[in-house]
Amino acid sequence: MRVILAAGGSGGHIFPAISVARELEKMGVSDIFFVSSKRRLDKSLLESEREKCFFLSANPMPLRFNPLRTLVFMFKLFVDAAISVFLIARLRPKVVVGFGGYSSGTIASAAKLFGIPLIVHEQNFLPGRANKILSRFADRVAVSFRESAEYFPQGRTKVVYTGNPIRLDILSNDRTKSASRLGVNPGKLTVLVMGGSQGSSFLNRVVSEAALRVKKKRGDEVQFIHLTGRSDYESIKKFYDDNEIPGRVFSFLTRIDDAYAASDVAVSRSGAAAVFELAYYAKPMILVPYPHPENNQRSNALYFSQGGSAIYREESELTQDGLAGELMDILTDSERRDSLARASGRLSAPGAGRLLAEEIIKLAGGFSKRR
């Protein structure tokens, strides 16, 4: 049984695909191939799967008509479509699973051209453009949020709730060991800062200033684990060092579970992968969605906020003083922190990868019988 998992453009698309691959392997599926984009981030995240990866162009659809951009988009689309048809003809998968992002559209369309069953998985509360289009001819639409079904009116009978697959194989929950590996004190109150797989200059700046204010108020009682991304690493590390702010600064962590296990509260973007992994660890969150109007993080943040597990703040209303105050309120009020943590745990979906893998195998079985 061969399966193609198409995901690219961000860790939020790729991490669920990797999670499902691990679950499929547990069920005896060994021929699993990834189709992603040629972005450096995508190649880096799929490094361990490199022998079974194919990379298409990073080709987002233009939001507004521009003759040159549209021409470039159409040319890349034609090339990617030709490669996708070749891959489907060569590999002959039983099922193709699209996780959204740059790479899903052409390979999913090629699958339907050959009559291959297609599953679309939507990570976010509000579906992205690619998945909205693909859902019209997909055989199944898997959603991370039950309420997302209403956004697929053409295929509501195809919608199944699975939750958002998280990387259970890399997640452990030993605070002492994780803190030791990271070089932080397991006995201190700890704030985790994450700006997404590429980092966030806005969060890096505001949170580092807030960390300085927390230090001035509480001394060394509170420490920070700050994931900056590559571009801001040197400047943010220097800021922490110069101001003797307790904690550690990293550009990226392969073992993200260590950061989850060692922390008490997280300040984060609200991509689906991040919020569901934080919920798995039952962590209180301060969520600051990426502000682009076409981005779906706002709806994720609102959902978790309404569920009682997160404080939702837009960039426009987030200040150093305000964030420092909110962090201190959570860290010094154990009852409130526990309430946020319990609500967070209730919103987790640890069985999502297994449920989606079961849908894939089920669809492949039905396809085999028809053949």
Would you list the domain boundaries of the chain? 2-166+350-370, 169-346
The pLDDT-based confidence of 371 (bands split at 50, 70, 90) is: low
The pLDDT-based confidence of 104 (bands split at 50, 70, 90) is: confident
The pLDDT-based confidence of 247 (bands split at 50, 70, 90) is: very high
Predicted confidence at residue 173, as pLDDT, reads 82
Helices (H), 118-224: 129-134, 175-182, 201-218
Q: Please determine, for residue 330, whether its predicted confidence score (pLDDT) is greater than 80.
A: yes
The pLDDT tens digits for 145-195 are 999 988 887 666 899 999 999 888 777 789 999 999 999 999 999 999 998
More confident residue, 366 or 76: 76
Mean pLDDT of 326-348: 95
**Inter-CA distances, 206 with 62, 234, 236, 243, Å:** 31, 16, 11, 15
The pLDDT tens digits for 120-154 are 999 999 888 778 888 888 999 999 999 998 888 76
The pLDDT tens digits for 248-260 are 999 988 889 999 9
The answer to whether residues 91 and 4 touch, using CB atoms and an 8 Å cutoff, is yes
CA angle 90–95–98, rounded 5-degree value: 100
Predicted confidence at residue 105, as pLDDT, reads 86
What is the rounded distance in angstroms from the CA atom of residue 339 to the CA atom of residue 362? 39
Q: What is the CATH number of domain 2-166+350-370?
A: 3.40.50.2000
2-166+350-370 and 169-346 share one CATH topology? Answer: yes
Give residues with Cβ within 8 angstroms of 272, minimum separation 6: 12, 16, 123, 124, 144, 164, 300
Q: Is 92 exposed, middle or buried (0-12, 13-18, 19+ CB in 10 A)?
A: exposed
Task: Please identify which residue in the block is written with the tokens 């259970």.
Answer: 168
Token pair of 310 as six digits: 């997160």
- Architecture in CATH of 169-346: 3-Layer(aba) Sandwich (3.40)
Residue 28 amino acid letter? G
φ/ψ bin of 313: left (φ > 0), alpha (ψ from -120 to 50), beta (otherwise)? beta
Instruction: Decide: helix, strand or coil at residue 220.
Output: coil
Q: Please determine, for residue 15, whether its predicted confidence score (pLDDT) is greater than 80.
A: yes
Q: Please determine, for residue 327, whether its predicted confidence score (pLDDT) is greater than 80.
A: yes
Mean pLDDT of 340-362: 94
The pLDDT tens digits for 261-283 are 999 999 999 999 899 999 999 99
The pLDDT tens digits for 52-95 are 999 998 767 666 777 777 787 788 888 989 999 999 999 999 99
Mean pLDDT of 290-315: 89
What is the rounded distance in angstroms from the CA atom of residue 243 to the CA atom of residue 241? 5
Least trusted range by pLDDT, from 160-164, 166-170, 223-227, 327-331:
166-170
Q: What's the pTM?
A: 0.88
> In the predicted model, what is the mean pLDDT of the chain?
90
Predicted confidence at residue 368, as pLDDT, reads 55
Q: Please determine, for residue 118, whether its predicted confidence score (pLDDT) is greater than 90.
A: yes
Predicted confidence at residue 59, as pLDDT, reads 67
Predicted confidence at residue 370, as pLDDT, reads 55
More confident residue, 62 or 11: 11
Give residues with Cβ within 8 angstroms of 89, minimum separation 6: 114
Rg (CA), the chain: 21
Give residues with Cβ within 8 angstroms of 218, minimum separation 6: 328
